[in-house]
């Protein structure tokens, strides 16, 4: 095999990745609305130059555009008018974000006592909180019920028994939804609608477990069944998967009314709405998703001859994901020869899988840009990797960066708002980075960087 000519990356990069005409340019769909570069190639977010911003907090650092976050929250609130829109706190939650969610009129989903505590600290009223999880402890359930959270999404027969027992003991009523498995699995551009029930979440519709769960909840004194809950996957770009799931869930909804005599007032279609991580992704606006989902529900309800339940959805990634980027400092650069004579430039940065596990865990794709200067060098195929002792410690698998990328440069990775800080770890005893909120030229640290004292505080020697 002959050598690959310079600039010819056939077979060494994904088919969707194209060599850019201008390696300094941003792809707007991947970045917060305020992101731009000046004539010197310096990245600005929220009116602040990124090099100046990180000079105060060091790198790596998560940069969160507050107005972009709020705008995306409003887009779902307004696009899904008539729905209850729950922000999925698992994507990223801190006190400030909980406060923003409340101020923008959204509800909030939590799935642990810690997330519940942060939500309350951020001023979210308990009745506007939904509580998820497949193994909520009795302590967690008791606290949620006594506080009066708006809904508990039950996920097992044991949990139904626990809720009923706590209600009987405390005399405090509980409102629940039954999470069902509709046999639909949707991820990115594909969905499969056949028997994807080998998972830990939900009661199977096909097996009859979901109907039995509804029957047991209805029979429990002091426990109100609000409706059925369905979640089909993540990174979903169209409504095809929702259509199949809604048909099956609404059929169960109708059966419960017919055979158990209870018309459930609500139904939750879950979340999983996709965002653009790279140029291959093309997410739909919230209003367009809403129109498609509303049409599906209206059509199915008419076909079944039932009234439409009040609907709710749970966007998390779609709100916070694009609103945040992560900034790193380049430490080393290494050129590696590949098969056929092609080359890849390995760019090592001062973070990695401890601040973004998604590439290693899910084989996720990300983009990046040189954030601290402009470059006239031709683009090279690069892989941005972390500093941890794992060969799979990759931040960005494939991207074109300037050929003169060098130690000390800043690299920014967009789309890291969802599950970056939330899934961050202390692997290799790394200190988890700060989250810096920016707006109108002002920066505020909303989650500080961990310190060595934090790290040692739990190590009792």
Beta strands in 338-441 (DSSP E): 343-349, 369-370, 379-385, 394-402, 410-414, 435-439
Strands 324-337 and 410-414: antiparallel
CB proximity list for 86: less than 8 A, separation 6 or greater: 106, 107, 108, 109, 130, 268, 312, 313, 314
Q: CA-to-CA distance for 199 and 203, rounded, in angstroms? A: 10
Exposed/middle/buried for 374, CB within 10 Å: 0-12, 13-18, 19+? Answer: middle
In the block, tokens 């004194």 appear at 221
**Residue owning tokens 């005599």:** 261
Residue 389 falls in the annotated catalytic set: yes
Dist CA 45 CA 32 (whole Å): 7
**Which tokens hold the place of 451?**
């310190």
CB 213 within 8 A of CB 176: no
Question: Which residues on neighbouring strands pair with residue 37, listed in sequence order?
Answer: 43
Length of the chain, please?
A: 461
> What are the residues facing 328 on neighbouring strands?
411
- Strands 174-181 vs 203-204: parallel, antiparallel or unpaired: parallel
The answer for residues whose C-beta is within 8 angstroms of residue 275's C-beta and 6 or more apart is 235, 281, 283, 317, 318, 321, 322, 415, 418
Query: In this structure, are residues 290 and 248 in contact, taking their beta carbons and an 8 Å threshold?
Result: no
H-run or E-run covering 287: helix 286-304
Phi, psi of 446 (to 5 degrees): -100, -20
- C-alpha span between 67 and 33 (Å, rounded): 8
- Give the span between the Cα atoms of 228 and 257, in whole angstroms: 12
Residue showing tokens 């029957």: 215
- Which of 324, 319, 400, 275 is closest to 45 using CA atoms? 324
Q: What residues act catalytically?
A: 389
């Amino acid at each position: 095999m002959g050598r690959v000519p310079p600039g010819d990356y056939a077979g060494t990069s994904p088919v969707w990745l194209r060599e850019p005409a201008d390696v300094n340019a941003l792809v707007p769909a991947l970045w917060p609305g305020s992101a731009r570069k000046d004539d010197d190639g310096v990245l600005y977010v929220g009116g602040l130059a990124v090099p100046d911003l990180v000079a105060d907090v060091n790198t790596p650092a998560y940069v969160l555009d507050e107005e972009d976050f709020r705008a995306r929250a409003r887009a779902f609130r307004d696009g899904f008018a008539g729905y209850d829109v729950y922000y999925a706190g698992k994507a990223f939650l801190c006190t400030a974000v909980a406060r923003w969610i409340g101020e923008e009129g959204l509800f909030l989903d939590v799935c642990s006592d810690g997330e519940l505590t942060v939500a309350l600290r951020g001023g979210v009223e308990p009745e506007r909180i939904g509580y998820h999880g497949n193994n909520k402890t009795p302590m967690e359930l008791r606290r949620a019920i006594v506080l009066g959270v708006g809904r508990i999404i039950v996920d097992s027969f044991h949990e139904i028994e626990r809720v009923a027992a706590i209600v009987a003991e405390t005399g405090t009523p509980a409102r629940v939804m039954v999470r069902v498995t509709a046999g639909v699995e949707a991820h990115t551009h594909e969905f499969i609608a056949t028997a994807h029930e080998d998972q830990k979440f939900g009661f199977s519709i096909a097996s009859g477990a979901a109907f039995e769960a509804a029957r047991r909840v209805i029979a429990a004194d002091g426990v109100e069944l609000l409706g059925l809950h369905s979640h089909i996957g993540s990174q979903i770009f169209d409504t095809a998967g929702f259509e199949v799931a809604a048909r099956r869930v609404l059929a169960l909804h109708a059966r419960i009314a017919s055979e158990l005599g209870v018309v459930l007032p609500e139904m939750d279609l879950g979340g999983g709405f996709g965002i653009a991580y790279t140029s291959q992704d093309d997410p739909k606006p919230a209003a367009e998703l809403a129109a498609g989902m509303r049409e599906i529900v209206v059509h199915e309800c008419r076909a079944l001859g039932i009234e439409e339940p009040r609907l709710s959805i749970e966007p998390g990634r779609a709100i916070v994901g694009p609103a945040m980027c992560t900034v790193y400092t380049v430490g080393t650069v290494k050129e590696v020869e590949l098969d056929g004579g092609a080359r890849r430039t390995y760019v090592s940065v001062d973070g990695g899988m401890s601040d973004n596990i998604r590439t290693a865990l899910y084989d996720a794709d990300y983009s990046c840009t040189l954030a601290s200067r402009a470059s006239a060098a031709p683009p090279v195929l690069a892989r941005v990797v972390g500093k941890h002792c794992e060969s799979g410690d990759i931040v960005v698998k494939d991207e074109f960066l300037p050929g003169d990328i060098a130690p000390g440069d800043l690299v920014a990775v967009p789309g890291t708002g969802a599950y970056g800080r939330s899934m961050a770890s202390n692997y290799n005893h790394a200190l988890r980075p700060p989250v810096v909120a920016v707006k109108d030229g002002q920066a505020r640290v909303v989650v500080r960087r961990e310190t060595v004292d934090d790290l040692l505080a739990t190590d009792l020697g």
